[in-house]
A and B are shown apart, each in its own frame.
Chain A
Amino acid sequence: MRGLYIYAVLDEAPAAALGTGVLGEPLRAVSCGTLLAVAGEIGEAPAPSLTALREHDAVIRRLADAAPAVLPARFGSVVADDAALRALILPRAATLGERLAHVRGRAQMTLRAYGHAEPTASASRTSGAAYLRDRRRTHDPRHALPALLPRLAALEPFVLDQRFEAHGTPPLLATVHHLVDRVRVHAYLDAAAAAKDGIGLRVTVSGPWAPYAFAGELPA
């Protein structure tokens, strides 16, 4: 198959060479109205090897170092050609522009909480009320993992946006993605190092990453 592999959407040209992509292809910026997409022409679908995934992220990091606002695309996002890309991006430019504004000058930090399971999101979905309870637990740390709340409170001054997800898979109990100003990443890491967690909880911190968790779905 031939196609145009998409790495990211930006709202200004990066101030550095684009380099090459996951298949070694030269990258270029495709202008889509006020936005631009960074893409490479490929002749085959890329296999998701660890090397290819690292290369995908390396491209996005390079762009994030050279432009203040980047919406990362998921690995394997391929369209037929420039025209197809514009047809997708142009009608959605306003929403994508808002998302870019939201992540401008910001990076993603990721917390992962490990420990022993508590019966939170149970298998019982026999009623609408039970379903809503499960949903709330999955996305609300106050219900899903109260042991994490002291750390979240310590980090709150640095957090511009948050995505919380409880997993039913001990020892990995939950993941939190935080959107943080790039200039405050070191202060965030200092606060994270000093934070205390509830008994039995171990929390790891990674980042800064490009704002993958804040890119959202392609708007309707």
Chain B
Amino acid sequence: MSAATPAAAILDEADASVLDLVDNVLNKGVIIDGEIIFGLAGVDLVYLRLSAILCAADRIFGR
């Protein structure tokens, strides 16, 4: 596995468990009411990490 990509660089053990937690709690589970409410202050690196891992890393980090 290449360590050259940003996504590879953030996939250590701690991040892997963060990924699982975030994927389950923010991405899965039944949405009651069809609407999800977050406080905006605090959408932070946790969510960005998930986006970085599950989307093309280059789009997030640039080249």
| Nearest CB on A from B34, distance (A) | 7
Q: Known contacts A37-B32, A46-B39, A74-B29; is A172 also within 8 Å of B44 by CB?
A: no
Tell me if A57 and B24 are in contact (CB < 8 A).
yes
Residues on B with C-beta less than 8 A from A204 are: 16
User: When chains A and B are docked, how far (Å) is the Cα of A210 from the Cα of B5?
Assistant: 32
* Interface bin, chain B: 35 or more
Give bound CA distance, A78 to B32, whole Å: 7
Jot down 20 A-B pairs with beta carbons below 8 A, ordered by A.
Answer: A45-B38, A47-B41, A48-B38, A48-B39, A48-B46, A56-B25, A74-B26, A74-B30, A77-B37, A78-B32, A79-B33, A112-B16, A112-B20, A167-B54, A171-B1, A171-B11, A204-B16, A209-B20, A212-B24, A215-B29
CB within 8 Å of B: which residues of A? 1, 3, 6, 9, 37, 44-50, 52-54, 56-57, 71-79, 84-85, 88-89, 108, 110, 112, 114-116, 167-172, 175, 202, 204, 206, 209-210, 212-213, 215-218
Q: Which of B7, B25, B29, B32 contacts A170 (CB 8 A)?
A: B7
Residues 11-44 of B, flagged 1 when their CB comes within 8 A of A and 0 if not, give: 1000011111111111111111111111111111
A49 to B46, CA, bound (A): 7
Q: How far is the CA of A204 from the CA of B14 in the complex (A)?
A: 13
Q: Do A202 and B31 touch (CB < 8 A)?
A: no
Q: How far is the CA of A50 from the CA of B27 in the complex (A)?
A: 14
B33:A74 contact, CB within 8 angstroms = no
A77→B33 contact, CB < 8 A: yes
- Complex CA gap A73/B27 in Å reads 10
Look across to chain B and name the residue whose beta carbon is closest to the beta carbon of A168: B56
Distance A169 CA – B57 CA, assembled complex (angstroms)? 7
Interface residue ranges, B against A (CB under 8 Å): 1-2, 5, 7-8, 11, 16-44, 46-47, 53-57
Q: Which residue of A lies closest to B24 (CB)?
A: A212
List of B residues within 8 angstroms of A1 by Cβ: 37
Q: Given A53-B25, A209-B24, A215-B29, check contact A3 B37 (CB 8 Å).
A: yes
Q: A48-B38, A112-B16 are in contact. Are A215 and B46 (CB under 8 A)?
A: no
Q: Chain B residues near A206 (CB, 8 Å)? A: 16-17, 20
Contact B42 A218 (CB under 8 A): no
CA separation between A157 and B1, bound complex, in Å?
30
Question: Among the listed B16, B24, B38, B54, which residue makes an inter-chain contact with A169, where contact means beta carbons less than 8 Å apart?
Answer: B54
